[in-house]
């Protein structure tokens, strides 16, 4: 960030602080915003031949935005990533324009590149069962195998994100019938815990050689520290390869599967939205990968007078 003017750097920090304090933005989100906007401001500095204070940032032109996007394209940045970066820059500029009192039209009207959204590909119930059984038997260390299976069972059986499962503490076990989970943006939700998930976690706890103290992480790495996502992703990748599953069979695909299986069993989309912790129902619809006919059927069942 050394190429960015002090005023622009301070404005960026003020914006990030506001997102954290007022909106409860997750740390990963804040880090991504910082990177994307910092890279943009650095480009503008080099493109215009010197540090750009707030006054200069007021005067960005459509040509400046096109030059920035052209450079990203030349670096091999795809449409999806470019759209994310542009969204971060627009959000920052909308805030900056309100604070400084200028017209951000050139930035806000920059067209977002089109890209085809990838629909999530959930595993069917049989494939999920086979995968979990395989993971539980795959690792030479019994307690590590039980740990990996327990985490993946929470993703599938409770619809947790991997970060949410790994945030559980020793005090959370033995798992209750319902868990209070803090998800993205600090949003809390209550999810039921299936007996299979409680049993998987209990099995892991019995085998784990480390002292699972109440205030520390429930799931541990081999050396005893808090478990990171990478070992779970690696266990899933190995199982995927050995079972001949598609590349889309990731830990997050088990969360997709949770939503899809509930919908197939007649679950209400709004209830599934709450269980997943989605802010928007459209996100839930994408996760469940259902077609318009199925959505219409659910709608008519929920609203008989429609």
- How do the pLDDT tens digits run along the chain, 306 residues long? 457 888 888 989 999 888 877 656 667 778 888 999 999 988 888 888 766 677 778 888 888 889 998 998 888 888 778 888 888 898 898 899 888 888 888 888 888 776 555 555 667 777 777 888 888 887 889 999 999 999 998 888 777 888 889 999 999 999 988 888 787 767 778 788 888 889 999 999 999 999 999 999 999 999 999 999 999 999 988 888 888 887 777 887 777 776 664 555 555 555 555 555 544 545 545 555 544 445 555 556 655 554
Indicate which residues carry an active-site annotation.
161, 184, 252, 255, 278, 287
pLDDT at 291: 44
Kindly list the structural domains of the chain, giving each domain's residue range(s) and its CATH number in brackets, ordered by start: 6-108 (1.10.150), 125-302 (1.10.443.10)
Contact 69, 86 (CB under 8 A): yes
pLDDT at 292: 45
Distance (Å, whole) CA 299 – CA 270: 11
pLDDT tens-digit series, residues 94-114: 899 888 888 888 888 888 776
Closest CA to 181 of 206, 202, 162, 156: 162
Distance (Å, whole) CA 180 – CA 227: 20
pLDDT at 281: 46
Mark out the alpha helices in 77-141 (DSSP H runs). Answer: 79-100, 105-108, 125-138
pLDDT at 216: 95
Residues 6+ apart with CB under 8 A from 38: 1, 4, 12
pLDDT at 249: 79
Distance (Å, whole) CA 263 – CA 165: 22
pLDDT at 306: 44
Residue 130 CB-density burial (10 A; 0-12 exposed, 13-18 middle, 19+ buried)? middle
Residues in the chain: 306
């Amino acid at each position: 960030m050394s190429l960015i003017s002090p005023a622009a750097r301070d404005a960026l920090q003020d914006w990030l602080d506001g997102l954290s304090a007022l909106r409860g933005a997750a740390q990963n989100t804040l880090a991504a915003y910082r990177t994307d906007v910092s890279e943009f401001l650095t480009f503008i500095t080099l493109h215009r031949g010197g540090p750009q204070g707030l006054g200069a940032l007021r005067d960005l032109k459509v040509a400046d935005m096109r030059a920035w996007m052209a450079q990203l394209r030349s670096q091999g940045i795809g449409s999806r990533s470019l759209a994310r970066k542009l969204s971060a820059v627009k959000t920052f500029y909308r805030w900056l324009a309100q604070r400084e009192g200028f017209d951000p039209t050139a930035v806000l009207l920059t067209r977002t590149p089109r890209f085809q959204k990838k629909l999530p590909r959930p595993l069917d119930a049989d494939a999920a069962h086979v995968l979990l059984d395989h993971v539980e038997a795959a690792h030479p260390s019994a307690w590590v195998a039980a740990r990996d299976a327990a985490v993946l069972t929470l993703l599938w059986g409770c619809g947790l994100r991997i970060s949410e499962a790994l945030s559980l503490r020793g005090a959370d076990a033995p798992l209750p019938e319902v868990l209070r989970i803090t998800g993205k943006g600090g949003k809390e939700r209550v999810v039921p815990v299936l007996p299979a998930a409680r049993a998987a976690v209990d099995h892991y706890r019995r085998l784990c050689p480390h002292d699972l103290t109440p205030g520390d992480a429930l799931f541990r790495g081999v050396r005893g520290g808090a478990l990171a996502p990478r070992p779970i992703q690696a266990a899933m990748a190995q199982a995927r390869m050995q079972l001949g599953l598609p590349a889309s069979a990731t830990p997050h695909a088990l969360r997709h599967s949770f939503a899809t299986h509930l919908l197939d069993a007649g679950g209400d989309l709004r209830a599934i939205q709450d269980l997943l912790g989605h802010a928007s129902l459209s996100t839930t619809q994408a996760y469940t990968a259902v077609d318009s006919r199925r959505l219409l059927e659910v709608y008519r069942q929920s609203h008989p007078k429609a």
